[in-house]
């Protein structure tokens, strides 16, 4: 069966997605809470943790990465976003924790991406002993370009979600401020009417009492 270049690209993209060791998720972090994620990593394997607070409070969170021996590999407080890359010194379960304990009423929405190990090469290309063909070179370039597009789209969605949430919060504040101003104007108007009414009301004077 003849496979077109487009079909070949789609197939390799699907296969590379299956063998990917990347974990990407968005989760809610309640106030005064801690969420931890665990990942088993082999020795001398590189790993990268990238995160960003999308909504909630001052858009900050405490982050900590611990190794199997409870050694702290990375720790930051009240961060909005960051990326940390490290190499596992020993095989075991590594823990990444996100803490919102310093906040008593603000829920946070956090995006996290945990990449373990180098990116898997395209099937059939990593074992090449000869020069790549034009089709294989094009497939590798397309694969790299698609990965960059996916990353850009992800960050664009995060920025859009963060901007939309801030706009909604600002709109809500403006609405309640307008309601407060309206109520204040009505109270002042009512007070002025009552004062003017007292000026023109019939009151007994000293002349009429004689």
pLDDT of residue 7: 38
Q: What is the pLDDT of residue 205?
A: 55
Under DSSP, the state recorded for 43 is T
Residues of the chain with pLDDT under 70: 1-21, 119-132, 136, 202-210
Q: What is the pLDDT of residue 94?
A: 93
Q: Quote the CA–CA distance of 35 and 51 in Å, as a whole number.
A: 13
CB atoms within 10 A of CB 116: 19
Q: What is the DSSP string of 159-181?
A: HHHHHHHHHHHHHHHHHHHHHHH
* CATH 2.60.120.380, domain 21-117, yes or no: yes
**Interval 148-189: pLDDT, tens:** 887 777 777 777 777 777 788 888 889 999 999 999 999 999
> Angle at CA 112, nearest 5°, toward 87 and 106?
130
Which letter does DSSP use for residue 107 in this model? -
Across 69-94, b (16+ Cβ under 10 Å) vs e yields eeeebeeeeeeebeebebebeeeeeb
* Chain-centroid distance, C-alpha 162: 8
Cβ proximity of 32 and 100 under 8 Å: yes
Which pLDDT belongs to residue 141?
79
Nearest to 85 by CA among 49, 41, 39: 49
């Amino acid at each position: 069966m003849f496979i077109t270049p487009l079909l070949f690209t789609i197939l390799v993209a699907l296969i590379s997605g299956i063998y990917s060791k990347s974990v990407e998720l968005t989760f809610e972090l309640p106030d005064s809470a801690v969420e931890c994620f665990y990942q088993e990593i082999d020795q001398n394997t590189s790993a990268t943790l990238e995160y960003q607070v999308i909504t909630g409070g001052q858009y900050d969170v405490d982050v900590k990465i611990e190794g199997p021996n409870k050694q702290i590999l990375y720790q930051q407080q009240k961060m909005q976003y960051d990326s940390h890359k490290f190499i596992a010194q020993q095989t075991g379960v590594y823990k990444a924790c996100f803490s919102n304990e310093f906040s008593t009423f603000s829920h946070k929405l956090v995006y996290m991406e945990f990449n373990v190990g180098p990116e898997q090469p395209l099937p059939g290309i990593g074992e090449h002993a000869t020069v790549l063909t034009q089709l294989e070179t094009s497939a590798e370039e397309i694969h790299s370009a698609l990965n960059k597009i996916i990353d850009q789209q992800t960050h664009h969605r995060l920025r859009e979600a963060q901007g939309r949430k801030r706009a909604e919060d600002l709109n809500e504040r403006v609405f309640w401020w307008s309601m407060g101003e309206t109520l204040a104007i009505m109270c002042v108007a009512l007070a002025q009417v009552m004062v003017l009414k007292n000026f023109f009301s019939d009151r007994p004077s000293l002349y009429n009492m004689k």
